[in-house]
């Protein structure tokens, strides 16, 4: 008996020892291999493919990888091949930071762009990117005031930020109501996940409510939000004209929609932020979701040329990353593709200035980002007309166009109902951004970056 116990213990020791040793050893070896490689631009991909948000993760990072593969299969960026390393974050900050550090270096290659698709993880690395000269792209999430490139030189919001999104949503609602004037006396409910993310747009909504004279009902939903009975009873009492759904995760979003059905609240009076407007958020709600409006920072669909080409080239060659090719053209996947498009676009800009066919470093890529100029012509070349708005970034302005499209769910797919992009109140938002950024800079004793010195 004792002997056997001792034996078991020995085995136990071996198991753990082995795991560790192998873990370290192998990683070294592979790094060595990678180091040997020539003319590769290396990207780190901190994905999450398990856990509550896995559906988002697999779609988004699948899209990124598919586009990178597509670029490689079509000759790379001026001959420079793209290579990447994936790392599972499970959407947990600690794991995210570990991934950031793990991906940061691979052999002699450096990670220059970090896109965790997670506000908590973005916060976890926010204070590191300056030293590591890594670009944190915050593709449609994170601190809205990071749009001020003088305070956050390494953080971008290439897509519309939450604040711009919020403002644009109100603008669209106003247009549905036949003009801002008609918002007076109306009630709009902000149904939000009760954490930093859900509270982010409150300053904007409150300001607009005062300015446009509508009543704002704030209804928080406790994390994880799979139970909203009392919230919807409150909404039923307030009889709002619109409910803005600021949720994350299919659990909360689909529950919100089914709960609306339970009190006969019309779904075509609901408008979901882009984290509450993916196919994965609608499907579980079934018919209840029919008519629901969703915000798109990148619309869904396969009609875009780049999507079709990826499908043809990458999936044709059976090198696609999605387990289920049916998800090609879905919101998260499309968003991932466009995220990668910006990476590559920044690379092209940088190469154009610092040397074609070269591997770019962090500073060069940042210059590339800050000189992104997405004109109609360029969009056509990239095959993303209607997929992304036209805009240009600069040293001061790290946020994209600050516009949205609105889609409606017909029970099986999203249909864009706004052919043109709905704009936000740029001036107001920019003022808020700069105020907030200034406060942050003061608190952190940051000296503002002088953009006039750079070009």
Partner 1 sequence: MSSLQVFAEVLIAGLLTGIMYSLVALGFVLIYKASSVFNFAQGAMVFFAALTLVGIIELGVPFWLALLLTIGVMVLLGMGIEKFVLRPLVNQHEITLLMATIGLTFVIEGLAQLVWGTDVRRIDLGIKDIPIEFIADNTGILVSQLDLFAAVVAGALVATLAVLFSHTKVGRALRAVADDHAAALSVGIPLQRIWGIVWGVAGLVALVAGMLWGARSGVQFALVFVALKALPVLIIGGFTSVPGVIVAGLIVGASEKIAEFYVGPMVGGGIETWFPYVLAILFLLVRPEGLYGEKIIRRV
Partner 2 sequence: MFYREAGKFRTSYAQDAQIFPLGLDKVMVGALLVFAFLIVPNIASQYWLIALLIPWLIFSLVALGQNILTGYAGQLSLGSAGFMAVGAFACYNFLLRVDGMPFLAAVALSGVCAAAVGIVFGLPSLRIRGLYLAVATLASQFFIVWVLDKFGWFKNYDPSGVITAQPIVILGYLFDSAAEKYVLVAAIVGVLALAAKNMVRSNIGRSWMAVRDMDVAAEVIGFRPMPVKLLAFAISSFYCGVAGALFAFAYLGTVEPSAFNIDMSFRILFMIIIGGVASILGSFLGAAFILLLPIFLSVLFHTVFGNAVDASMLSATELIVFGALIIFFLIVEPHGLARLWQVTKEKLRLWPFPH
Choose which of 264, 318, 444, 447 interacts with partner 2 (CB under 8 A). 444
3-state percent helix, strand, coil for the chain, nearest multiple of 5 = 50, 15, 30
* 330 touches partner 2 (CB under 8 A): no
Could you say which residues in the range 236-275 bind partner 1, by CB under 8 A?
236-237, 249-252, 254-255, 258, 261-264
Could you say which residues in the range 7-66 bind partner 1, by CB under 8 A?
49-52, 54-55, 57-58
For partner 1, which is the closer residue by CB, 96 or 198? 198
* 236 touches partner 2 (CB under 8 A): no
Could you say which residues in the range 289-308 bind partner 2, by CB under 8 A?
none
Residue with tokens 């780190």, as numbered in its chain: 44
Query: What DSSP element (H or E) covers 398?
Result: none
The C-alpha atoms of residue 189 and residue 242 are separated, in whole angstroms, by 6
* 286 touches partner 1 (CB under 8 A): yes
The 10 Å Cβ neighbour count of residue 177 is 16
The C-alpha atoms of residue 65 and residue 54 are separated, in whole angstroms, by 16
The C-alpha atoms of residue 34 and residue 30 are separated, in whole angstroms, by 6
Beta bridge partners of 221: 193
Could you say which residues in the range 334-393 bind partner 1, by CB under 8 A?
none
DSSP state of 316: T
Return the one option of partner 2, partner 1, none that residue 413 interacts with (CB less than 5 to 8 A, by type): none
* 356 touches partner 2 (CB under 8 A): no
For partner 2, which is the closer residue by CB, 170 or 406? 170
Return the one option of partner 2, partner 1, none that residue 305 interacts with (CB less than 5 to 8 A, by type): none
DSSP state of 210: H
The C-alpha atoms of residue 304 and residue 212 are separated, in whole angstroms, by 37
* 15 touches partner 2 (CB under 8 A): yes
Return the one option of partner 1, partner 2, none that residue 440 interacts with (CB less than 5 to 8 A, by type): partner 2
Beta bridge partners of 220: 192
DSSP SS3 for 8: helix
Which residues bind to partner 1, rule: CB under 8 A? 49-52, 54-55, 57-58, 194, 218-224, 226-227, 229-231, 233-234, 236-237, 249-252, 254-255, 258, 261-264, 280-281, 283-288, 323-324, 327
């Amino acid at each position: 008996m004792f002997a056997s116990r001792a034996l078991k213990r020995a085995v136990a020791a071996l198991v753990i020892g082995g795991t560790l040793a192998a873990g370290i050893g192998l990683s070294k070896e592979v790094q060595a291999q990678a180091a040997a490689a020539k003319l590769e631009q290396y990207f780190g991909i901190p994905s999450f493919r398990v856990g509550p948000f896995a559906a988002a993760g697999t779609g988004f990072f699948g899209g990124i990888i598919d586009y990178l593969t597509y670029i490689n299969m079509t000759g790379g960026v001026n001959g420079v091949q793209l290579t990447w390393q994936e790392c599972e974050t499970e959407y947990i900050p600690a794991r995210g930071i570990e991934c950031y550090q793990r991906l940061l270096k691979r052999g002699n290659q450096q990670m220059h762009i970090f896109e965790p698709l997670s506000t908590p993880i973005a916060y976890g690395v926010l204070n590191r990117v300056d030293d590591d000269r890594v670009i944190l792209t915050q593709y449609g999430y994170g601190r809205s005031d990071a749009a001020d490139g003088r305070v956050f030189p390494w953080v971008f919001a290439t897509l519309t930020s939450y604040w711009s999104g919020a403002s644009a949503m109100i603008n669209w609602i106003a247009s549905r109501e036949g003009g801002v004037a008609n918002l007076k006396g109306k009630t709009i409910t902000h149904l939000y996940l009760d954490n930093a993310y859900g509270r982010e747009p409150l300053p904007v909504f409150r300001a607009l409510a005062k300015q446009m004279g509508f009543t704002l009902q704030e209804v928080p939903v406790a994390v994880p939000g799979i139970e909203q009975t009392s919230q919807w009873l409150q909404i039923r009492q307030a009889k709002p004209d619109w409910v803005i759904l600021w949720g994350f995760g299919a659990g909360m979003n689909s529950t919100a929609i089914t709960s609306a059905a339970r009190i006969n609240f019309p779904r075509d009076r609901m408008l979901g932020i882009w984290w509450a407007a993916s196919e994965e958020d609608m499907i579980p709600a079934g018919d209840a979701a029919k008519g629901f409006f969703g915000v798109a920072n990148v619309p869904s669909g396969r009609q875009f040329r780049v999507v079709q080409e990826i499908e043809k080239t990458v999936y044709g060659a059976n090198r696609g990353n999605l387990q289920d090719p049916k998800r090609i053209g879905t919101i998260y996947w499309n968003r991932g593709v466009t995220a990668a498009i910006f990476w590559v676009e920044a690379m092209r800009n940088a190469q154009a200035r610092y040397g074609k066919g070269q591997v770019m470093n962090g500073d060069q890529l940042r210059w590339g980002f800050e000189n992104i100029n997405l004109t109609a012509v360029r969009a056509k070349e990239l095959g993303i007309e209607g997929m992304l708005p036209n805009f240009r970034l600069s040293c001061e302005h790290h946020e994209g166009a600050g516009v949205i499209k609105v889609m409606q769910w017909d029970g099986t797919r999203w249909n864009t109902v706004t052919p043109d992009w709905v704009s936000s109140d740029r001036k107001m938002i920019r003022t808020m951004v700069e105020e907030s950024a200034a406060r942050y800079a003061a608190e952190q004793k940051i000296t503002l970056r002088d953009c006039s010195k750079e070009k």
